[in-house]
Amino acid sequence: MTSLAPRLWGSMGTGFLKMGAERNSNALGLGGDQCLYSGFNASLEIELLAVTTELSLVLDCDTPMIFKLVPSPRSDQVIQALVFDLVGGLDETRFLDGHGNQCVRALMPKGASSLRVSFEGQQIPDVSARAGHFVPIQALPIEVLPFLQPSRYCEADQFLSLTREVIDGCSPGYEQITRICTFVQTKFTYEPGSSTAPRSALAAMQDTAGVCRDFAHVSIAMLRSISIPARYVVGYLGGLLPQDVHAWGEAYVGNQWVAFDATPGLAPGERIAIAIGRDAAEVAIMDQFGPLPSSSQMAVSVRVQSPA
């Protein structure tokens, strides 16, 4: 199996545009210039994201593929007006993977084919997230336990010494997430093209620049090293320029999943999650089982608008 994630994700960490000078507060109680989580206005008014993703492929032979571009149902977001238009695909089958992600399997024919997915999404804020205390291992839900383990790109077992140094003096839980995000944002600078294919947290630590995928891997590995479950999220962020898919993380504290984003220079913005996994290896927006396409292009449009 060959994953096309590196080709189709683009930089997975493009620049951010700060929309106006108004200071925002976010779901974890931080100001708009603090980057733990996507911001909400103080009034908790939320905006709607109108998202369109278009894929164009040219294949040298019939190729089975699995797509992850449809938002899965979540309690913290509302999806409407969903359109999934696969042109040329045969034997289309929809299913949920082991993480509950919406997947579409299809046999894509030799030659040109395309996929267009569009929807409108709203994020539902939860101000209680700021009270996220550490949850003892014995009290964790069974389905959360896999997100404690090292994974292909998040070598949590190699990060304990560093993480202990970074979080010294922090209260267990929410405060540790904040400190780890600050560490990542201080160590790294965002540099488009500095990481064009997925690399592990350890590999990213050898550099001083990276993209959102790298920052998510490092912060997730650090959180798991101190027994805080953490998972990788791919989706869309309002205000991201150039427009592309984005990666961030979620940590299980206070008996709920709390989103965090360690990308340096991140501006507040609404976000919609598409898929979750242990790391980038499990959330490729397209997996193909055969030769690489001779041509593949992706265009993303994310428009921020006020709900009707």
The 10s digit of each residue's pLDDT in 246-295 is 999 999 999 999 999 999 987 778 899 999 999 999 999 999 999 999 99
Instruction: Kindly report, residue by residue over 200-214, the tens digit of the pLDDT.
Output: 999 999 999 999 999
What architecture does CATH give domain 2-305? Roll (3.10)
Which tokens belong to 36?
A: 């733990």
Check whether 31 has a pLDDT greater than 60: no
The whole-model pTM stands at 0.84
Given a contact cutoff of 8 angstroms between Cβ atoms, the answer to whether 52 and 116 are in contact is yes
Distances (CA, A) of 172 to 57, 99, 158, 184: 47, 27, 20, 18
Q: What is the arrangement of strands in the sheet containing 271-277, beginning at the earlier edge strand?
A: 256-260, 246-253, 230-237, 271-277
- Type of residue found at 77: Q
Domain definitions of the chain by residue range: 2-305
Question: Which comes out higher in pLDDT, residue 31 or 228?
Answer: 228
- Type of residue found at 133: H
Which tokens belong to 125?
A: 């804020």
Q: Residue 14's pLDDT band (boundaries 50, 70, 90)?
A: very low
Residue 19: name the closest of 263, 262, 188, 237 by CA.
Answer: 237
